[in-house]
């Protein structure tokens, strides 16, 4: 039976194509690497994009409309946010020694503006019943960052790594007012010199700034019924091993990275700084955030069953205590993206308690319904953009505080004090609608992923197979660690490791599934994650390989397709890789030709 071919046009989203979709189909291994480089020809062909990559569609349209109203030079571009702390955060990031010299932005070249725009609701593309009634006619206050376009990475990195930029739905709700001239530009201007060092916006709640060093204050984005309903749904899904989570224990943010960032800010205050300890493979934006944090990062790469990571952690923590140095918290993904290692959380809990260090677990890959880490985590972070949403058309992040944690009161009070809602209620309403079938979808994702992983694992046992390993919890040496937290299944994500990079490329370039970043969607997505993200940095790529994240791996997020169709599709691509191995003697021996 012929393998079904992908009919979606290059650069367009997974079907059904609609406003606010967050995926894009970019077939080919080299295309994935070009995306990471920011290749302008490739970017010009994208009709859709993952929102944290940069302003797109409605957000770009809004920025273009606002630019001439803000007394900005034509050499500058705009980024739009809803929280006043973004000015200080941008100044720190753009001037940091971590930036390449050609991307570093002089403080005086960063220009900051504040403006108020009323919402126009409801949005025609969104669920009804959660719109203008919840904002009372009050305008939305935006914080605009203008930066030299020729040094874009020095500012756009803030948008990508912190994840707090405005959403496409919020932009769509603001564009009509701007088009009819209903914009109030606050009589305040600032630059990077004036605001460096400010942690939060200050000034009168609805008044003007008193000078260049004072950022006008803000209310927050309006809360809708969907916010409360989402928090209750998440609270009901989180396991009860760590006590019954309530609505007030759940905090919502515009993206998963925004949840990581805002929690990090809170923990820096609670812990008065300190080094962030990172275990294993973590999402690259989290890596950059921790590495550039005030206390820096200590990374333990290998976390497999033979790594001895817990003994190494105990020794390091004892050394830090003896030296009088602060440790902020421990962060780990469970299981890790993209190599699916499950760290020993029970042992980690024992070690953390002995040294009185909070443990933060990002359970995005496992997901609420599949694992319960509430008894071993002080904080649970989830990108609810992924399988919780499931339809790749809205972003969101959550922070959950298990009440059994010894750090519960300190973290909750600080998070609550710092919290300003940045999550637009139309996004919350969409996510609430999407997640209504979360459990039913997850059952299919679990079943399909396990079937595919089992098929691939069996294939890898053949002496003629181009596959050397299938990275999925049952087929790793940390399976028992996963089982200790398991509720329903293993999730939708797996990775396939090949003998050589050439074989991985042959497989990927012939694989008839959607190709691009993202996971947890309704359609299967593949991506050469490690080579695309880190391949251009030889030193970083070599370091990742030391703990199992190799360029020869293809990450696969399994979707809701028919199981037999999935297996046929992957079998056909394996046949191409097998022929490539058979046609080249070097490949037969497992070497790059």
Q: Could you give the strand order of the β-sheet that contains 184-191, starting from the edge strand earlier in sequence?
A: 76-81, 140-148, 111-117, 184-191
For the chain, which domains are there?
52-195 (no CATH), 225-434 (3.40.640.10), 438-588 (3.90.1150.10)
pLDDT recorded at residue 588 = 43
Distance CA 407, CA 271 (A): 10
Distance CA 527, CA 291 (A): 25
Q: What's the token pair of residue 31?
A: 């295309």
pLDDT higher than threshold 50 for residue 521: yes
Specify the range with the lowest mean pLDDT, choosing from 18-22, 191-195, 388-392: 191-195
Q: What's the token pair of residue 326?
A: 């602060």
Asked if 114 contacts 83 with a C-beta cutoff of 8 angstroms, the reply is no
Mean pLDDT of 50-79: 96
- The DSSP call for residue 5 is P
Asked if 519 contacts 493 with a C-beta cutoff of 8 angstroms, the reply is yes
Question: Among candidates 340, 275, 352, which has minimal Cα distance to 303?
Answer: 340
**What is residue 501's three-state secondary structure?**
helix
pLDDT recorded at residue 213 = 52
Reported as a pLDDT band with limits 50, 70 and 90, residue 535 is confident
- The DSSP call for residue 305 is T
Reported as a pLDDT band with limits 50, 70 and 90, residue 4 is confident
Asked if 560 contacts 445 with a C-beta cutoff of 8 angstroms, the reply is yes
- The DSSP call for residue 590 is T
Q: Which one has a higher pLDDT value, 211 or 3? A: 3
439's torsion region: left (phi>0), alpha (psi -120 to 50) or beta?
A: alpha
Distance CA 87, CA 107 (A): 11
Distance CA 576, CA 559 (A): 22
pLDDT higher than threshold 60 for residue 592: no
148 sits in which H/E element = strand 140-148
pLDDT higher than threshold 60 for residue 132: no
* pLDDT tens column, 452-476: 999 999 999 999 999 999 999 999 9
pLDDT recorded at residue 220 = 74
Beta bridge partners, 359, equal 330
Averaged confidence pLDDT in the chain = 93
* pLDDT tens column, 142-190: 999 999 999 999 999 999 999 999 999 999 999 999 999 999 999 999 9
Distance CA 559, CA 67 (A): 41
Asked if 115 contacts 192 with a C-beta cutoff of 8 angstroms, the reply is no
Query: Cis before residue 338, ω within 30 degrees of 0?
Result: yes
Distance CA 339, CA 318 (A): 29
Using alpha carbons, list the distances in angstroms from residue 27 to 38, 53, 240, 309, 512. 16, 18, 42, 38, 9
3-state helix, strand, coil in the chain (%, to 5): 40, 15, 45
Reported as a pLDDT band with limits 50, 70 and 90, residue 215 is confident
* pLDDT tens column, 481-496: 999 999 999 999 999 9
End-to-end CA gap in the chain: 32
pLDDT higher than threshold 50 for residue 136: yes
Distance CA 288, CA 335 (A): 20
pLDDT recorded at residue 536 = 84
* pLDDT tens column, 394-444: 999 999 999 999 999 999 999 999 999 999 999 999 999 999 999 999 999
Distance CA 257, CA 52 (A): 9
pLDDT recorded at residue 204 = 37
* pLDDT tens column, 288-331: 999 999 899 999 999 999 999 999 999 999 999 999 999 999 99
């Amino acid at each position: 039976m012929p393998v079904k071919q992908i009919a979606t046009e290059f650069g367009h989203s997974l079907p059904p194509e609609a406003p606010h979709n967050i995926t894009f189909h970019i077939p080919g291994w080299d295309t994935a690497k070009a995306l990471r480089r920011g290749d302008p020809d490739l970017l010009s062909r994208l009709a859709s994009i993952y929102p944290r990559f940069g302003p797109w569609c409605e957000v770009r349209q809004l920025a273009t409309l606002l630019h001439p109203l803000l007394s900005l030079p034509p050499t500058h571009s705009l980024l739009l946010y809803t929280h006043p702390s973004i000015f200080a955060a941008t100044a720190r990031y753009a001037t940091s020694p971590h930036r390449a010299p050609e991307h570093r932005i002089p403080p005086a070249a960063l220009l900051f503006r504040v403006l108020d725009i009323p919402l126009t609701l409801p949005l025609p593309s969104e669920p009804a019943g959660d719109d203008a009634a919840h904002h009372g006619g009050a305008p939305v206050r935006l914080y605009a960052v203008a930066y030299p376009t020729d040094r874009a990475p020095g500012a756009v990195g803030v948008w990508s790594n912190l994840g707090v930029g405005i959403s496409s739905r919020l932009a769509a709700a603001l564009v009509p007012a701007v088009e009819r001239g209903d914009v109030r530009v606050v009589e305040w201007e600032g630059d990077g010199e004036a605001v460096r060092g400010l942690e939060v916006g200050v000034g009168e709640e609805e008044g003007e700034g008193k000078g260049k060093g004072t950022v006008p204050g803000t209310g927050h984005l309006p809360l809708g019924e969907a916010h409360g309903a989402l928090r209750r749904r998440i609270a009901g899904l989180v396991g009860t091993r760590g006590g019954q989570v309530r609505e007030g224990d759940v905090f919502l943010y515009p993206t998963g990275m925004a949840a990581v960032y805002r929690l990090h800010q809170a923990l820096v205050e609670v812990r008065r700084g300190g080094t962030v300890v990172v275990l294993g493979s973590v999402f690259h934006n989290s890596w950059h955030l921790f590495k550039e944090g005030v206390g820096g990062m200590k990374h333990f790469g290998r976390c497999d069953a033979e790594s001895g990571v817990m003994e190494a952690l105990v020794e390091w923590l004892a050394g830090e205590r003896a030296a009088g140095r602060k440790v902020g918290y421990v962060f780990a993904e469970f299981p890790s993206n993209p190599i699916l290692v499950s760290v020993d959380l029970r042992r980690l809990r024992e070690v953390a308690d002995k040294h009185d260090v909070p443990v933060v677990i990002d359970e995005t890959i496992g997901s609420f319904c599949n694992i319960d880490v509430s008894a071993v985590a002080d904080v649970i972070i989830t990108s609810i953009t992924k399988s919780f949403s499931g339809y790749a058309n809205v972003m969101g992040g959550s922070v959950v505080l298990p009440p059994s944690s010894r750090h519960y009161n300190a973290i909750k009070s600080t998070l609550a004090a710092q919290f300003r809602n940045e999550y637009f209620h139309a996004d919350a309403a969409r996510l609430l609608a999407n997640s209504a079938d979360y459990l039913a979808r997850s059952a299919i994702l679990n079943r399909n992923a396990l079937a595919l992983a089992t098929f691939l694992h069996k294939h890898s046992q053949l002496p003629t197979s181009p596959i050397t390993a299938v990275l999925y919890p049952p087929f790793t040496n940390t399976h028992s660690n996963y089982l200790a937290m398991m509720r329903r299944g293993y999730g939708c994500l797996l990775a396939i490791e090949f003998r050589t990079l050439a074989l991985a490329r042959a497989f990927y370039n012939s694989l008839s599934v959607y190709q691009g970043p993202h996971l947890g969607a309704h359609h299967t997505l593949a991506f050469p994650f490690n080579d695309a993200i880190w391949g251009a940095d030889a030193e970083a790529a070599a370091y990742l390989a030391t703990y199992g994240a190799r360029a020869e791996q293809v990450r696969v997020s399994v979707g809701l397709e028919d199981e037999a169709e999935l297996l046929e599709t992957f079998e056909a691509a394996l046949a191409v890789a097998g022929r490539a191995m058979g046609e080249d003697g070097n490949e037969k021996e497992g070497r790059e030709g």
